[in-house]
Amino acid sequence: MLITKRDRENIVVFDLEGEIRRSDAPGVSLHQHVKEELEEGRRDILMNFAKVPFIDSFGIGEILASYISTQNSGGRLKLAGISPRLFLVFQVTQLTRVLDIQDNEEKALASFIKS
C-alpha cells in the first residue's frame, strides 16, 4: 500500500493506493501517519480509498485505531471513495455505524464544513 499526504482546505488528505493487508504493511502504518498529524495539531483527517481494491482485518484495525486516536484528540476522521465491494466489508463489520463514510472526496470535504 502506498500512502501519500496532501492538504486541502486545512484538512489532511491521505490518498491510499493498493491493497491494505498485513503482508503489505509499510514501515510506517496508516495509524502512525494519523497519529503524527494529530500530534502536530491537525484534527481534520480524510482517508481517500478511491484506489484501494482490497482490505483485510489488519486494514480494518488500522482504520479503527485511527478513528479512536482522532476522536480522543477531539478531531474528525472521514473516509471517501470506498468501492461497493469494500463498503460491504464496512457493513459486515458494522463500521458504517461508527465511521463517517462519504461517496467521494468533494462530498467529504464539504461535510467537514457542515459539521
Query: What pLDDT shows up at residue 55?
Result: 94
Q: Are 8 and 14 in contact (CB under 8 A)?
A: no
Integer CA distances (angstroms), 29 to 33, 61, 62, in order: 6, 11, 8
- Model pTM? 0.93
Please list the pLDDT of the chain residue by residue as tens digits (115 residues).
Answer: 899 999 998 999 999 999 988 876 557 789 999 999 999 999 999 999 999 999 999 999 999 999 999 999 999 999 999 999 999 999 999 999 999 999 999 999 999 988 7
Measure the CA–CA gap between 7 and 46, rounded to whole angstroms: 10
* Number of separate domains in the chain: 1
Query: What pLDDT shows up at residue 25?
Result: 56
What CATH number should be reported for the domain holding residue 42? 3.30.750.24
For residue 27, the 8-state DSSP code is S
Grid look-up 484495525 returns 61
Query: What pLDDT shows up at residue 76?
Result: 98
Query: What pLDDT shows up at residue 74?
Result: 97
**Domain range for residue 107?**
2-114
Return the C-alpha torsion angle 76, 101, 98, 88, nearest 10: -150
